[in-house]
Structure 1
Amino acid sequence: MTKSYFSETNFFNENKSVKPDASGHRQRIFKRFDESNFDSFSDHEVLEMILFYSFSRCDTKPFAKALIAEFGSLEGVLTAPVSKLRKVNGIGGSTARLIKAFYQLSILINKRNALTSVISISNKSDLIKYLKSSMAYLPIEQVRVLFLDAKNKIIKDEVMGEGTETQSAVFPRKIMQKSLEYHAVAIIMVHNHPSGDIRPSNADISITEQIKNAAKTLNIALFDHLIIGKKEDCYFSFRENSLLSDF
């Protein structure tokens, strides 16, 4: 396949200097970041700055705008698979992995903060924010389980299954094995709906019942099953909607 003129290799290997206007633009971006981080940045400006570290000798605005146009938002770009990022003209493997690294780093920090600050399920707002930050914009369905101790603190947050845009495989036995391994006394199931529709499917309801019954045999409580949507404060709780009324 013929590489685009704007490929990473061309930019790094060709002996070109940064155009004065592009250089000045970069310095203005850096100055704004130094003063207020990303608070005053638009989505494409955030991407522009990330791409500075992949494309050192050109204007990155066209690439940033092309990525936003392709994936719809900054969140859509950051959560897109490397394989899809590479299909955007000029975005090679190194750039795609750089973009993913920024996103995965934020997930890693959130997870560590959740465990070190000991997020409690009693603070539903913080819990939902924590979950949305890492899975609301995923392009495929992902199932996670939060394993809790006797004080309702998160012991472990683990991905238990991933699938397509509409479904993912969940195995009750695997979840029970992990519950015993982590000495959990309760669990919360979580999954996202990439479509944005947070209403549970019949399959969601069925697997929740199966896991609740399996957990009960081990004296482990299924506290809730949460479906995470894309919009702020958009989620579905099985317990709040009376679909999980007992332990």
Structure 2
Amino acid sequence: MAEGNPPEQPREKPHYHEHRKRLRARFTGDMGASMPDYELLELVLCGIIPRRDVKPIAKALLKRFGGFGDVIGADPREIARVEGMGETSAIQLKAIQQAAIRLLRHEITDGHVLSSWDAVLDYCRAAMGREKVEQFRLLFLNNRNRLIADEVQQTGTVDHTPLYPREVVRRALELGASALVMVHNHPSGDPTPSKADIAMTHAVRDALSKIDIRLHDHIIIGRKDTVSLRSDGLI
């Protein structure tokens, strides 16, 4: 230090430093099970945005989209437009969503699908429930009703997805499937099947029956609820 210069003052820690410490301590207590959405989102954002107070960002995200699941399930372009976020931060939130989807998918990969029906519905809701366009997912099963493939067959518009029975049959034969479950989402949020949904289901069922492959169900995913066409007596 040069003679006559005042001693250098210690750098003051950011005001949010202790708050982050408390969040980590609360999470560690029960691995976040009792944390409300806003605190869990704050903690996640602490790792994504390490040098900024993330509390107002978390509040803005929750105000814009809803709960924690709604935030990570939102369109990444919309997430990026929230003040304090950006493309990189949005991608990291979407990575958390994908991790959750893969964890749920793991629950149905090695088990008997029909006896793990709640897990199947949870997975489908997580994977498709917040999509803004319709998509058709096919779960192909072997003769023990174990999952052998999970594929998005078609993606369409906000209210229509073409699904061609011949393509379903072709793929089922390629995979050696014995049965399958059809799943598609209604971006409107209402899972009530339309007449077109029912007619298309019957067309796929009839095409599969000709090659001795069973259509177990057609599940329609809404924003909060699901509909099983088999449970409703429509298959």
Counterpart AA for 1:49? L
Instruction: State the Cα distance separating 1:144 from its structure 2 match.
Output: 0.9
TM superposition shift of 1:165: 3.2
Long gaps (5+) in structure 2: 1-10
User: Do 2:133 and 2:158's aligned partners in 1 also have CA atoms closer than 8 Å?
Assistant: yes
**Aligned match of 2:180:** 187
Partner of 1:53: 47
Pairing of 1:102-141 with structure 2 (within 5 A): 102-116=96-110, 118-141=111-134
Cα deviation, 1:164-201, whole Å, max 9, x if unaligned, reads 33333323233222211211011110112233212101
TM-score (norm 2): 0.87
| Kept in 2: contact 1:227–1:235 (CA 8 A) | yes
Unaligned stretches of 5+ residues in structure 1: 1-15
Partner of residue 226, structure 1: 219
Alignment of 1:67-216 (within 5 A): 67-116=61-110, 118-216=111-209
Q: What pairs with 1:25-44 in structure 2 (closer than 5 Å)?
A: 25-44=19-38
RMSD: 2.0
- Secondary structure in structure 2 of the residue aligned to 1:190: strand
Supply the AA of the counterpart residue of 1:130.
Y
**Is the contact made by 1:119 and 1:126 (CA closer than 8 Å) also made in structure 2?**
no
Cα offset for 1:68?
A: 1.5
Q: Is the 8 A contact 1:146 1:158 kept in 2?
A: yes
For residue 218 of structure 1, what is the amino acid of its counterpart? Answer: I
**Quick check: 1:243 aligned with 2:234?**
yes
Aligned-partner Cα distance in 2 for 1:18–1:177: 63
- SS of aligned partner of 1:53: helix
Identity %: 36
Cα separation, 1, equivalents of 2:83 and 2:45: 14
Deviation at 1:17, TM superposition (A): 7.0
Whether the aligned pair in 2 keeps the contact of 1:82 and 1:100 (CA below 8 Å) is: yes
Contact 1:79 1:139 (C-alpha < 8 Å) held by counterparts: no
Q: Using structure 1 for the length normalisation, give the TM-score.
A: 0.83
Change (3 A) 1:108 1:126: closer
Take 2:164 and 2:27, find their aligned partners in 1: how far apart are those partners? 45
SS at 1:240 equivalent: coil
Distance between the aligned counterparts of 1:25 and 1:63, measured in 2? 15
1:157 is displaced (CA, Å) by 1.5
Which protein is bigger by CA-based radius of gyration?
Answer: 2
Tell me, in whole angstroms, the C-alpha distance in 2 between the residues paired with 1:17 and 1:182: 62
Q: What amino acid is the match of 1:139?
A: K
Give 1:121 shift: 0.9
What is the letter of the counterpart of residue 34 of structure 1?
T
The amino acid that maps onto 2:99 is: L
The amino acid of 2:34's aligned partner reads S
Give the corresponding residue for 1:12. none
Aligned partner of 1:54: which letter?
Answer: I
- CA–CA distance in structure 1, aligned partners of residues 26 and 188 of structure 2: 35
Which SS does the other structure have where 2:93 is aligned? helix
Look up the equivalent residue of 2:226 and give its one-letter code.
Y
